[in-house]
Amino acid sequence: MTALRHGKYPFILVFLLPPVGIYALYMLSPYVQAIHISMTDWSGLTATQTFIGFDNYVEMWNDDQLRTALRNNLILLVVVPVLTLLLGLFFASMLNVGGRSRGAAVAGVRGSSIYKVVYFFPQVLPHAIVAIVFAYVFAPSNAGGILNNVLEAIGLGGLTQLWLAEPKYLIWIVVLVMTWAFVGFYVVLFSAAMQSIPLDIYEAALLDGSSRLTTFRKVTLPLVWDTVQVGWVYMAIQAMDGFAIVHIMLGVNGGVQGSGDVLGVAIYRAAFAQSDFGYAAAIGVLMLVLTMTIVLLFMRILRREKVELA
């Protein structure tokens, strides 16, 4: 581009300044400040911050509520991806190789494109809407509770519960809601991967008399495994969040006895309900460490040089 050498640097500067400036001010600089704030006892009201070293971190260690939140995050981190990926693989294989029409040996089921459109929809919904709807799914029968009403309608009235009033159910309800919201995305993702598998591989497997299950295990799964791995990392990062769902469905305190609490909500609560910004930042650092550990762990396990996430 010798012809354009003239004026190259002013151009680069003009083009980079807005994106880099906004990014640095609103995203990078907060991350840098967070570490410093986490070592202060700042209430946000004073101009000066007292440096207290690692006191906030010691406090975290002794904070039972935070331990609940951390435990819940770990549950989300493990269970949501496993459930979501298994269901995603299951439905994707049903959609793409589930049907067996006369002409082709292996075919997708009828209406599979409609299923994909429907399954994917929760992915584009605001989590706020998901949370509100599911607050009513698990509400008591006389307050609209869909689940209880359905249970009664099909003769399983004995199973009805005050779902959101039972501490030990809360995090599992969050697991279900998140899984509900994410599965469709992975069905579409895995479907795309499965459709790129050549049909004659399936025909060969079929001729060899392999059953559906064997075909899935020996043909489909290995060929989409790359996509599953990438999906896994992405899912793990997403599962760290859960803020909108917990905040709206269970409230800012994490529901009954705080037992549905997650780290994101704990940060928000410490900062904006208790004005303990130093402590909130310290929990943020904990979350960073957790996220980085997962990312590095996955990159290690998957031995992929470039794992990129959205």
Partner 1 sequence: MTTTETGTPGTSADPSPLRPRIRQPGLGAGRAIGLLNGGFLLFWGLITTLPLVWAILSSFKTNGEFRTDPMGFPDGLEGDNFARAWNAANIGQYFMNSVIVVTMSLTMTMLFGAMGAYVLARYDFPGNRLVYYSFLGGLVLPVFLALVPMFFVVRNTGSLPVIGGLLGLNSYLSLALVYVAFSMPFTVFFLAAFFRTLPTSVAEAGIVDGCSHFSLFFRVMLPMAKPGIISLALFNLLGHWNQYVLPLVIMQDDDKRVLAQGLGTLAATTGFRADWTALFAGLVIALMPVLIVYILFQRQVQAGLTAGILK
- Name which of residues 149 to 178 contact partner 1 (CB under 8 A): 149-150, 153-154, 156, 159, 175-176
- Residue whose CB is less far from partner 1, 132 or 197: 132
Interaction between residue 49 and partner 1 (CB under 8 A): no
Nearest distance, CB of residue 227 and partner 1, angstroms = 7
Shortest approach of partner 1 to residue 185 CB, angstroms?
Answer: 7
Kindly identify the residues of this chain, within the stretch 95-134, that bind partner 1 according to CB under 8 A: 95, 98-100, 109, 115-129, 131-134
41 in contact with partner 1 (CB under 8 A):
no
Among 63, 65, 216, 302, binds partner 1 (CB under 8 A): 216
Q: Which two tokens stand for residue 171?
A: 């995090």
Task: Tell which one of 201, 223, 244, 302 touches partner 1 (CB under 8 A).
Answer: 244
**In the bound complex, what is the minimum distance in angstroms from residue 137's beta carbon to partner 1?**
6
Query: Residue 197 interacts with partner 1 (CB under 8 A)?
Result: no
Query: Which residues within the stretch 261-290 sit at the binding site for partner 1 (CB under 8 A)?
Result: 263-264, 267-268, 271-272, 277, 280-281, 283-285, 287-288
Site stretch for partner 1 (CB under 8 A), options 51-59, 62-70, 94-102, 194-202: 94-102
**Binding residue for partner 1, selected from 237, 256, 302, 304, defined by CB under 8 A:** 237
**Can residue 144 be called a binding residue for partner 1 (CB under 8 A)?**
yes
Residue 72 corresponds to which tokens in the numbers above?
A: 């819940």
- State the nearest-atom distance from the C-beta of 306 to partner 1, in Å: 10
